[in-house]
Amino acid sequence: MKFSKKILAVLALLPGFVLANECPYPLDRAPERSDVASLQNGAKLFVNYCLNCHSASSMRYNRLRELGLNEEQIKNNLLFSGEKVGDMMNIAMRPADAKAWFGAVPPDLSVITRARSSSCGSGADHLYTYLRTFYKDDSRPTGWNNMVVPNVAMPHVLWQLQGVRTAKMVEGEDPHEHGKKMLKFAGFEEVSKGQLSSQEFDTQVADLVAYMNWMAEPAQDLRKRLGAIVLLFLACFAFLAWRLNASYWKDVK
């Protein structure tokens, strides 16, 4: 009886677990952009817009040579505060100052695409949607809010490229509680235009996310190539073993 009661208790809690795991905002699929030009552009965007507050303490600047950049190009285009090419991508801002200014310490972005993977989508999908769904919200300390991460502490660092938007909210039915009303998102309303068109901005964000995805595992392309070679070798070896086995037992009745 005690075991049956435990099973019933778990079953009773399952709907709550399902609701808790629902995605608060549908994630857009991040475009596949693995060419060198896109990754180089993503690295430039990362250094200019992300590396002011976020560090990438597991990545060295000289690793960017794998993206086709030489040391001179890295020095002239990606180093601004006296760092050396062999240094880690750290920032000068102290965690205590970051917490005082933003209310939270900005996370390290070295493996952020892996950390953000969930049942709702990949980490790249999360970041791609997150960076494109900021909107103006004067009730927030930074003046900005986000659809993927509500009440986010991070301001919209790409607002000059995207422009300023507000979120249009309309009253609707709560899908989880019959008869209860709630505010639902009904799209963005443009307040002022940015430097880029919507399509151009999406392309820039896709490059930035592609770079962060590469940064989380710079050797992933080599790993995939080696994996294909290993599988091909195993297939050839299996074929030879099969034929050798057939030859060895051909005279055995």
Cβ–Cβ < 8 Å for 127, 30: yes
- Supply the CATH classification number for the domain 26-218: 1.10.760.10
The pLDDT value recorded for residue 253 is 61
The pLDDT tens digits of the residues spanning 77-123 come to 888 777 888 899 988 788 788 777 777 888 999 999 988 888 888 99
Cβ–Cβ < 8 Å for 33, 207: yes
CA distances from 143 to 11, 154, 155, 186, 230 (A): 43, 10, 7, 20, 52
* Other CB atoms within 10 A of residue 189 CB: 12
Tell whether pTM > 0.95: no
Task: Provide the residue type at 160 as one letter.
Answer: Q
Report domain extents, the chain.
26-218, 228-253
The pLDDT tens digits of the residues spanning 180-217 come to 777 788 899 999 999 999 999 999 999 999 999 999 98
